[in-house]
Amino acid sequence: MSASDQDEAVDTPTPDQAPDPEREGLTPRQARLTGIALAATLLAGLAVLLLIRLAQRQSVLVVGVYGLAMILCGIVIELNRHGRTRLGGWLLAVGLASALGADWLLLP
């Protein structure tokens, strides 16, 4: 085998070394970090909202609604850490909608 044949063999990727096609969207690591950052931001926002709502009306129901929403954010952070980003995203969206709906419906 000549030197030029060896160069061609090295430059030509084999099927198992073929580069991945252009990837659209986030990489799994980016998706996990984005989910964690979003859930942590919502957790902090819910804590502030809880303090505001408690200043307006001191009720166990207020603590219950916002406390459960904050626990849900913690669960979503753990799900994202373990690679369950889609489940965490759906759970965060449904949980946040439920918490806001409960705030509007249950809390005067």
| Residue 20 pLDDT | 60
What is the residue whose two structure tokens read 């409960």?
Answer: 102
Give every CB contact of residue 1 below 8 A, 6+ residues apart in sequence.
9
Name the DSSP class of 82: T
* Position 18 confidence tier, pLDDT thresholds 50, 70, 90: low
CA dist 15 to 12, 19, 103, Å?
Answer: 10, 9, 56
Cβ atoms < 10 Å from Cβ of 22? 5
Q: Give the tokens for residue 20.
A: 């991945």
Note the pTM of the prediction, 2 decimals: 0.73
pLDDT tens digits along 55-90: 988 889 889 999 999 999 999 999 999 999 999 999
Domain regions of the chain by residue span:
25-106
